[in-house]
Structure formats: structure tokens, C-alpha cells
């Protein structure tokens, strides 16, 4: 299981005929780009581009629209269609790799393929013949990825053909299911997966990322907020990048079992190397979040693979930043999770989890470490005490992350509620932009003292410096808390305003401020 991984209010309306069963999430397909902040029409049936359905595709002699629409139309996802907006969503370098994420809302086994077409211009017709010229090689699998039962989130790496460059390419995802009984039209063989099968197609454009060589990437989860030591590089902190930041699982289940169930306190193998503990490469002692005493910690967990089980959170107050972090210190503060007690049960099918943790009464610390523990529950085992055998009994895969935070009164905490700036250099006076024109005065609780502050680029004779800071409140209103509780805390929010989109951490700001009664000119949120 090799996975990787990153956040989103929409007024709920009555949706009819919504079906599935998959979409390409990264790069965002034409049908799904609306979910990721792009200014495109929303397709609420974005997991259902299955050529009109198996019966219609069979009636069309197996033919399909190249982007998953019915072959006989309407072709809403092709040139001239409602969702074919020609917006470039990703850019890549020639001869690099494309990291792809596929979400399956229903797993029908079968296989997947990816093709690439270089358009002459954005108004050119996209044809299957052009796509067939570049059947992409999938890292570790060849040109076809076999879909195994039980998985719902798939991460793959595609090789861009040598020498290919294009200002506008289209990447096509094809998912050929394999769960229907049929007869092969050539051999006459009848079997599960033979003959006509349901198919899904999705297409997307390109976005620039410097691709580097990644080795041994696996999953399946990380603490995103507060950013864990392994993940802080993703959120603008000047720390080494750990590209395997979803894989701190004690070295793996077999190694943890060999170590008698023991694990490094931050998820490294118990026998080392302990790269995420004091002296290790990723233990930089950078404080990523600051909280007030007796308040709540808003936590976001990302699962790239859901193994049910449960989660716990612990807190240790270090004597100083160079002190050794021990499990004994962490065990002194097993945190209470709002609405769940000390353990959060992980339900099937969710990949983004938002929780609120109670800081122990009276606890203050210039440097605390918050530990996340995820104890999976999808392996068959035997309880060492009771002798009972069951799914989830005995040794299970575990994940641990550590985040460096502080807990201090606001007056003692100059960085409270402040995200990292994109730039810290300025050669002239900053010009602030307050977002009051966008805000509904009734939306923000009077308890929130801070509003977002941005500075536009400032220009001098010799240089132009862009400074974009964002300040936002961590203390949410009672209305927002109740909203999360009612909706089981499964929200993703993203910015819709072009000024906001480039800012680091803006998704968290949208979640904090805009999950309730949010103006569409600021953010949009969806329940997942």
C-alpha cells in the first residue's frame, strides 16, 4: 500500500440521480475541479462519468465519450461542453512524473489506464486517436494498474513520455471495471470481467511542480493541523521535506511485532533511526501552533487509507526544546476529544477527520509536543490476554505523529493565530488590505478579535517584494462547534477569492471562519 497525500461550504441542495463510482482527484479532472477551488461549474455527479451506464455503452457497441460522457451525447466534458473550461489545473516538467490520486466510491476491481494528448491549441478537438498515441507507463505496474478489492483511494505515478512538451495537454483516466459476468466477443469465453464492463473516463489539464525522485513512498495517514514534524514542510515551514510523511507506522506491522509492539514516540521504528525525535533530521523544534491555556485544539487528520480502529492524542510539556520526549511524559496527558472521550473511533470510508481536543486545565508550556496515535483495526489477530481472535484483535498497524506547539496566555504569545508569511523581506511600507468588504458583519463572532490581514506587492526602484501574511482566529464560535458536531466534523473548505488562493493555510482559515454562513466571494465548503 503506497500512498500519499492535502482542505474545503456549499449550500446543500436537492440532488437527483447521483451515482458513482469514481473520479480523478489529482490532477483535478474537468468534472471535479470545482471541488478544489477552480472557478468552474460544479458537477455534483462527478463520480458518475461511466459512458451513460453499462447498458447504454453496450447499446453504443462499447463506445464512450472520451471524457466519460455517453457516446451519443450530450458531451458536456468535451470541447464546447459545460465543464470543458480549458483551465490548466496542473503543470509538470518534461521527462518528469505525474502523481495521480484516484477516488473510488465503489470498487469494481478491473484495471486502470492513463493516456495523454497534446492539443494544438485550447480550442482543438480532443480525440481518442490523439490520446492513444501516449499510453502512459505507471510506475511499478506497466501500462495497466490492476485494481484490488477493498481499496478506495489510489495513488500512482505516471511517466511523461520522453521529450514531450505541451502548453495544453489532456490527461485521460480510464477505469475498466471487472465485476460483471460476460462473454468475450473474440474468444467466446464467459467469465467474471469478460465482455462489456462498466467504464469510467475522466480528463484534466496540467500545473507546474518540480518533480524529484521519491523512493519507498507508502501510507496511510498524517496529522495536518497542527502540522506534525513530518508534515510541516507542506505548510510553509522552513524544515526538511519528508516525502513519506504519511508512513510513520513504527517501521511496519511486522517490525513493530518483532519489537514486542513498541514504537518510536513519533512513529519511527523503535530500533531506529529516530528521525522525528530529538537530534533527528525532522525534529527541528519549530513551534507550528500556539494556543491559550484551557482552550481547545482543532486537529485535522488525513488518512490516505482507512483501516478503521481508533485514534488518541497525548501531550507532553518539555522542560526545554532539547529535552528528550518520552512516552511516559506523553501518557501523563491523554487528551479528551470533544464528543468522543479519550478515543475517537474511525468509521469506514472517511479520509479527512476534524476533531477538537481539550487542553488539560491549568497546563501551560513554552514547548509542548502533541502526539497523534492511530491504532488500526483491520487485521485478524489474537488478543494476548483474553485469547480471543477477531478482526482488530492483537497486534495492529499503528501510526504516530508529533507536533511542536506552545500553550501560553495571549499576552505571552506574540505569534498566536499567525501563519507563516510567504516572504519576510520588505523594502517599503506595507499596504494592508482588510477583507471587510467581503464579510457579512453578522458572520464573525464578537469573540474573534482577529480578521485576515493581507499586504499587496510593494514596489521600490530596484525590487518588488510580495508579502502575504494571514492572521486568523483559532477560537471558533459556539455555532461552528455545534455545526461540526451535527455534521460529524467532516468538512473541507477552500477559497473562492483569487486574492486568497495563493496564501499558505487559507484552507484552515476558510474552515475556521467560513464553515457557517460563508459569503461565496470568500470560501466554499463541502461535507465529505
Query: What CATH number is given to the structural domain containing 302?
Result: 2.70.50.50
Residue 513's domain spans which residues? 484-527
For the chain, list residues with pLDDT below 50: 1-20, 202, 204-219, 414-477, 487-489
115 and 176 co-located in one domain: yes
Whether 162 maps to a domain, the answer reads yes
240 and 351 co-located in one domain: yes
pLDDT at 59: 81
Nearest to 406 by CA among 352, 370, 441: 370
Domain boundary residue, one of 407, 440, 470:
407
147 and 273 co-located in one domain: no
* CA gap 173, 22 in Å, rounded: 10
* CA gap 65, 255 in Å, rounded: 48
Nearest to 134 by CA among 163, 155, 111, 156: 163
Whether 399 maps to a domain, the answer reads yes
pLDDT at 263: 95
Whether 497 maps to a domain, the answer reads yes
pLDDT at 431: 27
Whether 435 maps to a domain, the answer reads no
Query: How many domains, in total, are found in the chain?
Result: 3
276 and 359 co-located in one domain: yes
pLDDT at 122: 77
38 and 164 co-located in one domain: yes
CATH number at residue 103: 2.70.50
Contact 495, 450 (CB under 8 A): no
Contact 198, 56 (CB under 8 A): no
Describe the strand order of the beta sheet including 199-204 as a list of residue ranges.
145-146, 111-118, 169-176, 199-204
488 contact partners, CB below 8 Å, separation of at least 6? none
What does pTM read for this prediction? Answer: 0.45
Sign of CA dihedral 328, 330, 336, 342: negative
262 and 325 co-located in one domain: yes
184 and 231 co-located in one domain: no
108 and 250 co-located in one domain: no
Which helix H or strand E contains 332, and what residues bound it?
none
The DSSP symbol for 131 reads H
Q: Is 484 helix (H, G, I), strand (E, B) or coil?
A: helix
CA distances from 213 to 85, 217, 397 (A): 32, 10, 27
Whether 419 maps to a domain, the answer reads no
Whether 18 maps to a domain, the answer reads no
Nearest to 373 by CA among 321, 309, 287: 309
DSSP for 362-426?
T--EEEEEEEEEEE---SEEE-TTT--EEET-SS--EEEEEEEEEE--GGG-TTTTBPPPS----
Whether 371 maps to a domain, the answer reads yes
Q: Is 433 helix (H, G, I), strand (E, B) or coil?
A: strand
Q: Is 258 helix (H, G, I), strand (E, B) or coil?
A: helix
* CA gap 397, 249 in Å, rounded: 7
365 and 506 co-located in one domain: no
142 and 273 co-located in one domain: no
Q: Which three cell numbers stand for residue 453?
A: 490581514
234 and 321 co-located in one domain: yes
152 and 268 co-located in one domain: no
Whether 258 maps to a domain, the answer reads yes
Domain boundary residue, one of 342, 374, 407:
407
pLDDT at 500: 66
Amino acid at each position: 500500500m503506497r500512498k500519499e497525500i492535502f482542505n474545503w461550504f456549499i449550500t446543500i441542495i436537492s440532488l437527483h440521480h447521483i451515482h458513482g463510482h469514481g473520479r480523478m482527484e489529482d490532477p483535478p479532472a474537468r468534472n471535479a475541479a470545482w471541488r478544489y477551488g477552480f472557478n468552474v461549474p460544479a458537477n455534483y455527479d462527478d463520480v458518475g462519468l461511466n459512458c451513460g451506464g453499462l447498458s447504454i455503452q453496450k447499446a453504443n457497441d462499447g463506445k464512450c465519450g472520451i471524457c466519460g460522457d455517453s457516446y451519443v451525447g450530450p458531451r458536456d466534458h468535451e470541447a464546447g461542453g459545460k465543464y470543458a473550461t480549458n483551465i490548466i489545473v496542473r503543470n509538470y516538467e518534461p521527462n518528469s512524473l505525474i502523481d495521480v490520486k484516484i477516488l473510488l466510491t465503489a470498487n469494481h476491481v478491473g484495471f486502470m489506464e492513463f493516456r495523454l494528448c497534446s492539443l494544438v491549441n485550447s480550442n482543438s478537438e480532443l480525440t481518442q486517436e490523439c490520446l492513444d498515441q501516449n499510453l502512459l507507463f505507471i510506475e511499478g505496474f506497466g501500462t495497466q494498474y490492476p485494481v484490488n478489492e477493498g481499496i478506495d483511494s489510489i495513488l500512482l505515478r505516471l511517466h511523461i513520455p520522453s521529450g514531450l512538451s505541451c502548453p495544453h495537454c489532456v490527461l485521460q483516466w480510464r477505469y475498466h471495471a471487472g465485476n460483471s459476468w460476460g462473454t468475450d466477443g473474440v474468444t467466446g469465453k464467459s467469465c467474471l470481467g469478460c465482455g462489456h464492463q462498466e467504464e469510467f473516463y475522466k480528463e484534466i489539464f496540467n500545473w507546474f511542480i518540480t518533480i524529484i525522485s521519491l523512493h519507498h513512498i507508502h501510507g496511510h495517514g498524517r496529522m495536518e493541523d497542527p502540522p506534525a514534524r513530518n508534515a510541516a514542510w507542506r505548510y510553509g515551514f522552513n524544515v526538511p521535506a519528508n516525502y513519506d510523511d504519511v508512513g510513520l507506522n513504527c517501521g511496519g506491522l511486522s517490525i513493530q511485532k518483532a519489537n514486542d509492539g513498541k514504537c518510536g514516540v513519533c512513529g519511527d521504528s523503535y530500533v531506529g533511526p529516530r528521525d522525528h525525535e530529538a537530534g533527528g533530521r525532522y525534529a527541528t523544534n519549530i513551534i507550528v501552533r500556539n494556543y491559550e491555556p484551557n482552550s481547545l485544539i482543532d486537529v485535522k487528520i488525513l488518512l490516505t487509507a482507512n483501516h478503521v480502529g481508533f485514534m488518541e492524542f497525548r501531550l507532553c510539556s518539555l522542560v526545554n526544546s532539547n529535552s528528550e520526549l518520552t512516552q511516559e511524559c506523553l501518557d501523563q496527558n491523554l487528551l479528551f476529544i470533544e464528543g468522543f472521550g479519550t478515543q475517537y473511533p474511525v468509521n469506514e470510508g472517511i479520509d479527512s477527520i476534524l476533531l477538537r481536543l481539550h487542553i488539560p486545565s491549568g497546563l501551560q508550556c513554552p514547548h509542548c509536543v502533541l502526539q497523534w496515535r492511530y491504532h488500526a483495526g483491520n487485521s485478524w489477530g489474537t488478543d494476548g490476554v483474553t485469547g480471543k481472535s477477531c478482526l482488530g484483535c492483537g497486534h495492529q498497524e499503528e501510526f504516530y505523529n508529533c507536533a511542536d506547539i506552545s500553550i501560553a496566555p495571549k499576552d505571552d504569545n506574540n505569534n498566536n493565530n499567525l501563519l507563516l508569511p510567504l516572504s519576510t523581506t520588505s523594502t517599503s511600507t506595507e499596504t494592508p488590505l482588510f477583507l471587510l468588504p467581503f464579510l457579512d458583519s453578522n458572520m464573525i463572532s464578537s469573540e474573534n478579535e482577529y480578521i485576515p490581514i493581507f499586504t499587496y506587492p510593494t514596489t521600490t526602484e530596484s525590487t518588488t517584494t510580495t508579502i502575504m501574511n494571514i492572521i486568523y482566529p483559532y477560537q471558533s464560535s459556539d455555532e461552528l462547534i455545534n455545526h461540526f458536531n451535527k455534521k460529524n466534523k467532516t468538512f473541507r473548505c477552500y477559497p473562492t477569492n483569487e486574492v486568497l488562493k495563493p496564501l499558505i493555510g487559507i484552507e484552515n482559515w476558510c474552515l475556521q471562519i467560513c464553515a457557517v454562513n460563508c459569503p461565496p466571494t470568500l470560501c466554499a465548503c463541502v461535507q465529505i
